[in-house]
Amino acid sequence: MGDTDVTGVAPVPAEHLVTDVAEDLSVFDADIVEKAGQIIARYPQSRSALLPMLHLVQSVEGRVSQAGIQFCARQLSLTPAEVSAVATFYTMYKRKTCGEHLVSVCTNTLCAVLGGDDIYRTLGEHLGEDGKRLGHNETAGEPGAPGSITLEHAECLAACDLGPVIQVNYEYFDNQTPESAVALVDALRKGERPAPTRGAPLRDFRTAELELAGFWPEDEESYRSTVDGPSAAVETLRGAALAEANSWTAPPMPNAPLPAEEPRAGSSMSGGEKK
Ligand code: FES
């Protein structure tokens, strides 16, 4: 299986730290400010808009920069430290500029034993240069330029029944092999957009980020008509089909009474009493 390193913990690089330097926010133009307003208006409290806001700034720069953190903080009346804490917690927020495409290889247990580790190692070697394997969150090509590809290993991508799986900009490519994965990234580098196994057509990373912020193409109806493929594959339903063919059923739930509710501090209501 080789020596795929999926456990290394890197020290916090400088770009992860909050600075006191006021950044130039002009990259977030009037259109982005207007979109930020639309996102904030979806929530009763502005701070609840932080996750889609981070996707919005990522759609502009291909990462969450210090400027992006300060933009979110200003729009949401948060501190840069609060925004940074969230941006550095979730792996979908990138601190280094992503390639035109983000290729995520699942190396969690099931995909790993089905070949995910081999796929990740093969892609690292294929995309690397001068005998150096491309590592986690590293980019082949100039980040953001056409044909550039950022490679990452990912934890379970929620498609274990169809493993080993790869996502490109979060769209699924199921039942992959090292050979099919190499063909996929070669097509991406040539500017092609191979059709995912299911779901929406393939976009570039920044457009996918805009969609994650909740902004869809103008012509939403025709866009939706291009979303293809079943959400449940034969493999997904195999257990249910076997149960049906063999008349297997789950045992009934025991009819045990629910425990009485503990009275809450400061409440005069007895257990189980409702307002
Ligand atoms: S282990 Fe890969 S999708 Fe679940």
Which tens digits make up the pLDDT trace of 139-174?
A: 999 998 999 999 999 999 999 999 999 999 999 999
Task: For the chain, state the CA radius of gyration.
Answer: 23
- Predicted pLDDT of residue 226: 74
**Which atom of ligand 1 is closest in space to residue 162's alpha carbon?**
3
- Predicted pLDDT of residue 269: 44
Is 87 within 8 Å of 234 (Cβ atoms)? no
pLDDT in tens, 60-78: 999 999 999 999 999 999 9
Instruction: Identify whether 44 is preceded by a cis peptide bond (ω within 30 of 0).
Output: no
Mutate to test the pocket of ligand 1, among 118, 160, 174 (most ligand atoms within 8 A of CB): 160
- 18-87 and 101-225: same fold? no
Ligand 1 surroundings by CB, under 6 angstroms: 106, 108-111, 156-160, 163, 165
Instruction: Decide yes or no: CATH 3.40.30.10 for domain 101-225.
Output: yes
Mutate to test the pocket of ligand 1, among 105, 107, 108, 117 (most ligand atoms within 8 A of CB): 108
Please classify residue 28 by burial: count the beta carbons closer than 10 Å to its beta carbon, then call 0-12 exposed, 13-18 middle and 19+ buried: buried
- Predicted pLDDT of residue 227: 75
Measured in angstroms, how far is the CA atom of residue 124 from the centroid of ligand 1?
19
- The segments of the chain whose pLDDT lies below 50 read 1-2, 7-9, 269-275
Pick the CATH number of 18-87 from 1.20.81, 1.10.287, 1.20.1070, 1.10.10: 1.10.10
Query: What does 51-90 look like in DSSP terms, one character per residue?
Result: HHHHHHHHHHHSS--HHHHHHHHHHHT--HHHHHHHHTTS
**pTM for the whole structure:** 0.83
Question: Where in the chain are the domains?
Answer: 18-87, 101-225
Please classify residue 213 by burial: count the beta carbons closer than 10 Å to its beta carbon, then call 0-12 exposed, 13-18 middle and 19+ buried: buried
